[in-house]
Structure formats: C-alpha cells, structure tokens
Amino acid sequence: MKEYQLKTKMKSYQWDELSEEQREVVAIAKEQIRHSYCPYSHFHVGAAAKLANGVVIRGANQENAAYPSGLCAERTALFAAGAQYPDQPVVRLAIACYTDGHFTKEPGSPCGACRQVMLETEHRYGGKMEVLLYGEDEIFVFDSAADLLPLIFVSENLKG
C-alpha cells in the first residue's frame, strides 16, 4: 500500500490587496447576485468571466422547480462565454454568494461539477484561468482552476 498526499495552493486576500483587474471581476460577480433566480434555495450566486479580449461575461445561478435542471452561476458564465466567444480564453473567473441579506463571510466553494467545467475551460485554451472566490472576510485566489481540482479528468484521460 502506498499513500499519497495531494497538495494544492490558494491565497487569501483582503479587498485592498487585490489588483484592479481582480477587483473588476469580483465587483461584477457581486453585482450579478441581482440576476440570480433562486426561489428554492434563496442562495444567490453571481459570476463574472473575463476573456482575453477584455469582454466580461456575466453569470448567475438559475434554479428550476425540477431541481437538477437548474445551473450554478459559474457554469452559466463559462458556457455563455464558450457559446459567444469560442476563440477567447477565459483568463479570470470570480464568484460571490449572498444569502439572508448579506454576502457570505466565507468565500463560496464551487461544487464539483463547476470545478470540472472550470478545468475543461482552462484546458481548452491551454492557459491558466485565475479563480477568485469572494467572501466578506477574505477572498480566496487560485492561480489556476487546476488548483481547485487535484487528480483532474481531462481529454487525455479518455485515451487510456
């Protein structure tokens, strides 16, 4: 038997420590909670995806009475980016969560499906996508989506 320990890296920032570029996407993700459709969970999630050409694609979670038919904020943004600008790498993605009348103190943690989609986005364009998770107390920054998902499954794995 062998045991492995998988390591990953993330950084914690305060708002005034972020760069202008980072603040831009975080601010848009925060704005976007207004467009969350969440009559079932009342948990608003906003997302913003910055493309290499400078365009920012906005996302927000969209729920459904048939629960699994809904979609997380990150995926609405990343899929919209792929559908509208298929040739533009996504360089930065931010999300912010809001419930009970305030943004969450702790940064929101993307679900497994969103992490997988982030990974595919990064892999598709062959560069790193920075991920920022907003919380009132701190903002987590991942240099690469791969840092959110060790033991990734990407196209190469399909070849066996």
Residues lying near ligand THU in the complex (CB under 6 A): 38, 41, 43, 45, 61, 63, 70, 72-74, 108, 110-111, 114
Any catalytic annotation for residue 106?
Answer: no
Nearer to ligand THU, 66 or 158 (CB): 66
| b (16+ CB within 10 A) / e for 104-117 | beebbebeeebbbb
Q: CA-to-CA distance for 101 and 124, rounded, in angstroms?
A: 37
Query: From the CB of 113, what's the least distance to ligand THU, in Å?
Result: 9
Nearer to ligand THU, 73 or 146 (CB): 73
Query: From the CB of 97, what's the least distance to ligand THU, in Å?
Result: 7
Nearer to ligand THU, 134 or 146 (CB): 134
Cβ contacts of 43 within 8 Å, gap of 6 or more: 61, 97, 98, 99
Inter-residue contact 94 to 132 (CB < 8 Å): yes
Query: From the CB of 142, what's the least distance to ligand THU, in Å?
Result: 13
Query: From the CB of 79, what's the least distance to ligand THU, in Å?
Result: 13
Nearer to ligand THU, 18 or 47 (CB): 47
- Catalytic residue, candidates 63, 74, 122, 130: 74
Distances in Å between the Cα of 117 and the Cα atoms of 14, 87, 101 are 27, 17, 29
Scan for tokens 């991942």, then name that residue. 142
Inter-residue contact 58 to 77 (CB < 8 Å): yes
Catalytic residue list: 74
